[in-house]
Amino acid sequence: MFQRGPKRLDEEGMVCAAITALFEEGYDRATIELALIRQAPVDLDLLAQCYERLFAAGAATEPHSRAA
């Protein structure tokens, strides 16, 4: 009858909350991304922005961070 596209994970708060929850459970970035993408289409730019916002501050303060 009606053709509807799948629901998208495109709300920043929801994506960031999902990343945080899965990370706290011990999942790595690759597993988290795969899980979210399998759940519903994800705006990949938003996914990257959430990662940067959530983890950029922590990476900058690591004593053994390496410059490329």
What is the tens place of the pLDDT at every residue in 14-26?
999 999 999 999 9
23/57: higher pLDDT = 23
Q: What pTM was computed for the model? A: 0.71
Q: Residue 19, exposed/middle/buried by CB under 10 A (0-12, 13-18, 19+)?
A: buried
Say yes or no to pLDDT of 59 above 90.
Answer: no
d(CA 13, CA 24): 16
d(CA 6, CA 67): 40
Q: Which residues pair with residue 42 across a beta bridge?
A: 9
Strand-pairing partners, residue 9, are 42
